[in-house]
């Protein structure tokens, strides 16, 4: 069986890495890795491959930046040639980025079976480009691997046949479980605690300059109560510069950093008093790590992080954000360094999702 994996952006890498490893243990499986180049910055791409132990991509399409339509069309055009040349038996797509939908569209038109890792997630907000990618990808796929039971329920409501759907758990947690001990070795010894870890990158947040300015003011006010560590996404850094906000604030209690590699970020996240984010994956990681998480969005495609985890939606209400953060800061975890991941917090988030995916793929292919 020839399995071709498609990755395009940083969140895909954490999901694909453990699946690649799990399939290596099956001698009947040949693998090809295609990187579309949707994230092309070294800090957002190559270093993640190194830390996650991923092989060099067999193909790098070098798509780069562009509008949603431009990226999707460019991936489709370049990826079609790869499928024609490589003849995969199954194509695995991951998450909800433009590359995911583009590859699924190509394969569906060429009659190549497709499996979606992290299927069934829904924010019920079609204003999010990622939601459109999720909805369409799941309709096109032959196999759908969901991270939790709510994904199964969403797919059932949308008319996806149950025999296509497999609840396997969260592959991002597989990467976290495997690399957590190594990440702890990289924690900076001189870091001042307690601190909040901040990430923001969604256009609906960072492209709204008046709101972003108010958020920065809120973070500055919070920094009087605890340190703020803010690794700044390239898009966000450009918006900060548009505001005339100094982006070299490395010494104040509001510390703006360059984007961090995976292991260094996990080390900081695991010992944070709280996380403030608009990222979907960080909501999941914080839940697994037991770190309080304030999500700067009105909705989440990962509601299980709210119902069973540590996540709280504060939307774009900065008063609510400040109040929730101050409440957490006033009663921090007694010792962040003693916090350990909990594999029992959410069913199947046990570090073995990728093994279940590999077994299902091999079984399905053998039965054809």
In this prediction, residue 323 has a pLDDT band, given cuts at 50, 70 and 90, of: very high
Question: Is residue 157 domain-shared with residue 299, that is, in the same domain?
Answer: no
Query: Can you give the pLDDT at residue 51?
Result: 92
The pLDDT of residue 44 is above 80: no
- Give the mean pLDDT of 60-75: 92
Question: Is residue 320 domain-shared with residue 361, that is, in the same domain?
Answer: no
Number of domains in the chain: 2
Question: Is residue 331 domain-shared with residue 205, that is, in the same domain?
Answer: yes
Show the 3-state SS of the chain.
CEEEEEECCHHHHHHHHHHHHHHHCCCCCEEEEEECCCCCCHHHCHHHHHHHCCCCCCEECCCCCCCHHHHHHHHHHHHHHHHHHHCCCEEEEECCCHHHHHHHHHHHHHCCCEEEECCCCCCCCCCCHHHHHHHHHHHHCCEEEECCHHHHHHHHHCCCCHHHEEECCCHHHHHHHHHHHHHHHCCCCCCCCCEEEEECCCHHHHCCHHHHHHHHHHHHHHCCCCEEEEECCHHHHHHHHHCCCCCCCCCCCEEEECCCCHHHHHHHHHCCCEEEECCHHHHHHHHHHCCCEEECCCCCCCCHHHHCCCEEECCCCHHHHHHHHHHHHHCCCCCHHHCCCCCCCCCCCCCCHHHHHHHHHHHHHHCC
Which among 72-86, 214-228, 242-256 has the top mean pLDDT? Answer: 72-86
Query: Can you give the pLDDT at residue 338?
Result: 43
Q: Is residue 361 part of a domain?
A: yes
Question: Is residue 90 domain-shared with residue 110, that is, in the same domain?
Answer: yes
- Give the mean pLDDT of 54-67: 91
Question: Is residue 46 domain-shared with residue 151, that is, in the same domain?
Answer: yes
The domain in which residue 54 lies consists of 2-169+348-366
Question: Is residue 269 domain-shared with residue 302, that is, in the same domain?
Answer: yes
Query: Can you give the pLDDT at residue 252?
Result: 76
Question: Is residue 90 domain-shared with residue 236, that is, in the same domain?
Answer: no
Question: Is residue 148 domain-shared with residue 72, that is, in the same domain?
Answer: yes
Question: Is residue 103 domain-shared with residue 79, that is, in the same domain?
Answer: yes
User: Catalytic amino acids?
Assistant: 201
Counting other chains too, the contacts that 280-285 makes at CB distance below 8 Å and 24 or more residues apart are 280/11, 280/121, 280/130, 281/11, 281/14, 281/172, 282/199, 283/309, 283/311, 284/147, 284/170, 284/172, 284/173, 284/309, 285/172, 285/173, 285/176
The pLDDT of residue 335 is above 50: no
Measured over the CA atoms of residue 118, residue 342, residue 11 and residue 174, the dihedral's sign is negative
CATH number of the domain bearing residue 106: 3.40.50.2000
The pLDDT of residue 84 is above 90: yes
pLDDT tens-place string over residues 111-170: 999 999 999 999 999 999 999 999 999 999 999 999 999 999 999 999 999 999 999 999
Question: Is residue 201 domain-shared with residue 106, that is, in the same domain?
Answer: no
Mean pLDDT of the chain: 92
In this prediction, residue 244 has a pLDDT band, given cuts at 50, 70 and 90, of: confident
Question: Is residue 192 domain-shared with residue 307, that is, in the same domain?
Answer: yes
The pLDDT of residue 368 is above 50: yes
The pLDDT of residue 190 is above 80: no
pLDDT tens-place string over residues 192-243: 778 999 999 999 999 999 999 999 999 999 999 899 999 998 889 889 989 9
Q: Is residue 311 part of a domain?
A: yes
In this prediction, residue 337 has a pLDDT band, given cuts at 50, 70 and 90, of: very low
**What percent of the chain has pLDDT above 70?**
93
Buried b / exposed e along 161-170 (16+ C-beta atoms within 10 A): eeebbbbbbb
pTM of the model: 0.93
**What percent of the chain has pLDDT above 90?**
77
């Amino acid at each position: 069986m020839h399995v071709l994996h498609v990755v395009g952006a940083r969140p895909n890498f954490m999901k694909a890495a453990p699946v690649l490893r799990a399939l290596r243990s099956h001698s009947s499986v040949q693998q090809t890795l295609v990187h579309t180049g949707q994230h092309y910055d070294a800090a957002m791409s190559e270093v993640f491959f190194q830390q996650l132990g991923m092989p060099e991509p067999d193909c790098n399409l070098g798509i780069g930046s562009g509008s949603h339509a431009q990226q999707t069309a460019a991936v489709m055009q370049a990826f079609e040639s790869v499928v024609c040349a490589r003849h995969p038996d199954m194509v695995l797509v991951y998450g909800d980025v433009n590359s995911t939908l583009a590859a699924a569209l190509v394969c569906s038109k060429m009659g190549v079976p497709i499996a979606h890792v992290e299927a069934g997630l829904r924010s019920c907000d079609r204003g999010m480009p990622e939601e459109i990618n999720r909805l369409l990808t799941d309709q096109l796929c032959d196999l759908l691997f969901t991270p939790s039971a709510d994904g199964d329920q969403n797919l059932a409501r949308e008319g996806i046949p149950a025999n296509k759907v497999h609840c396997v758990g969260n592959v991002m947690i597989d990467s976290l479980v495997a690399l957590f001990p190594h990440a702890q070795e990289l924690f900076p010894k001189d870091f001042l605690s307690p601190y909040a870890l901040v990430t923001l990158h969604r256009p609906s947040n960072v492209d709204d300059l008046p709101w972003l300015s108010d958020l920065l003011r809120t973070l500055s006010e919070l920094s009087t109560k605890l340190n703020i560590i803010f690794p700044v996404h390239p898009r966000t850094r450009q918006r900060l510069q548009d505001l005339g906000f100094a982006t070299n604030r490395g010494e104040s209690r509001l510390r703006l950093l360059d984007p961090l590699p995976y292991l260094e970020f996990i080390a900081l996240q695991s010992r944070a008093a709280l996380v403030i984010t608009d990222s979907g994956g960080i909501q999941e990681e914080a839940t697994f790590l037991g770190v309080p998480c304030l999500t700067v969005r009105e909705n989440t495609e990962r509601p299980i992080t709210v119902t069973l985890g540590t996540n709280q939606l504060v939307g774009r209400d900065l008063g609510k954000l400040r109040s929730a953060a101050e409440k957490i800061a006033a009663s921090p975890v007694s010792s962040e360094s003693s916090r350990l991941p909990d594999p029992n917090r959410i069913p199947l988030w046990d570090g073995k999702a990728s093994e279940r995916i590999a077994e299902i793929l091999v079984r399905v292919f053998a039965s054809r």
